[in-house]
Amino acid sequence: MDKQLLLEVLRKVRDPELDRSIVDLKMVKELEEENGRVKVTLALTTLACPLREALAEEVRKALSQVEGVKEVEVTLTEMSPEEKETLLGSVAPEEGIAKRFNNIRKVIAVMSGKGGVGKSLVAALLASHLRRQNYRVGVMDADITGPSIPKILGVKEKPVPAPMGIIPPTSSTGIKVMSIGLFLLKDEDAVIWRGPLISRAIQQFWNDVFWGELDYMIVDLPPGTADASLTVMQALPLNGVILVTSPQELVRVIVKKAMQMAKHLHVPIIGVVENMSYAICPDTGTRWELFGPSRGEEIAKELKAPLLAKIPVDPLIARLCDEGRIEEYRLEEFEAIASRIHELVPEVIPRFFVSIGDFSEGD
């Protein structure tokens, strides 16, 4: 059998992370055929690649379709340091290696001016429902001093260092996750950092993490409008923000501050989500507004943005978050968001940044 024919078939197989032909990437190291039995050896940049088995299966499938091929055996190995250097090339010290390999189509930040309103829950629910629609999704936990995304999504594996950058672990449904919480020895360890260190960590999550191909990146922001939020809005190509609120009047006032920050930095507001909006009595089915009348529609109207969803006070949500199984929770309104995400999220537009001194409460 013509070896060149087999190589041309393999040329159509693309590395799922680098999105380039495995032949062009010089990953095919050995290729032998005898009596319809094909043996191929693939050299990966790292054997820790989470998609290595998927790549091997693609190679088997491609070669099995060649006439005369009866059996395909794929062996995985790792590139030598010299081969890795040739592939990855050299980059300036200030530029993350991973950044040149990543292709993240849209970035959505979830924020609120106040803590405890459920930003991490909204980020996790949005990511889960998007993943259910077969989108490729990643979640960046930008709440450096209070990371909760790994717990909510049940991610316990540590990030893996690799030549092309840090490989993030994935949730049970395939959501890629990066959080400072994944680097802590114990969950209760405190991250006592000043603003510049926090900003630097967020930039590294963007530049140095090997996200690969993503349709949507969800960024879970910390409370307030300080360093972390400012870094995300200025350093990341945000398509928009989702503001999270709850029925209390105090929250409404503080959420408007977050809205003003987005406005000053020219970041579109995608919509509003009201958490803890109501509760359903399990015995009677009566709907109770435990924290007062809903203000979701009122806030959305003031922000000139749609009210995307109302999340109930549901004991099941708390249990699933504690058990790291929030991906199992389905909410009709989030399913609607995921199904029409293309029309909700705008394309990236040029933004002209202002200094902190340009902010004023009256604008």
**pLDDT tens, 223-240?**
877 778 888 888 888 999
Q: Is the pLDDT of residue 259 over 90?
A: no
**Beta-carbon count within 10 A of 207 CB:** 17
pLDDT score at 220: 95
Note the CATH architecture for domain 3-88. 2-Layer Sandwich (3.30)
Q: Is the pLDDT of residue 348 over 70?
A: no
Q: Are 150 and 156 in contact (CB under 8 A)?
A: yes
Q: Is the pLDDT of residue 261 over 80?
A: yes
More confident residue, 327 or 100: 327
Fold category of 98-358 in CATH = Rossmann fold (3.40.50)
User: What is the sign, positive or negative, of the torsion defined by CA atoms of 291, 296, 297, 302?
Assistant: positive
pLDDT score at 89: 57
pTM: 0.73
Among the ranges 45-54, 67-76, 108-117, 283-292, which has the highest mean pLDDT value? 67-76
Residues in the chain: 363
Mean pLDDT lowest among 14-18, 281-285, 286-290:
14-18
**pLDDT tens, 13-46?**
988 666 678 998 889 999 998 888 999 999 987 7
Domain boundaries, the chain: 3-88, 98-358
pLDDT score at 96: 66
- Write out the DSSP string of 310-357: E----HHHHHHHHTT-GGG---HHHHHHHHTHHHHSPPP-------GG
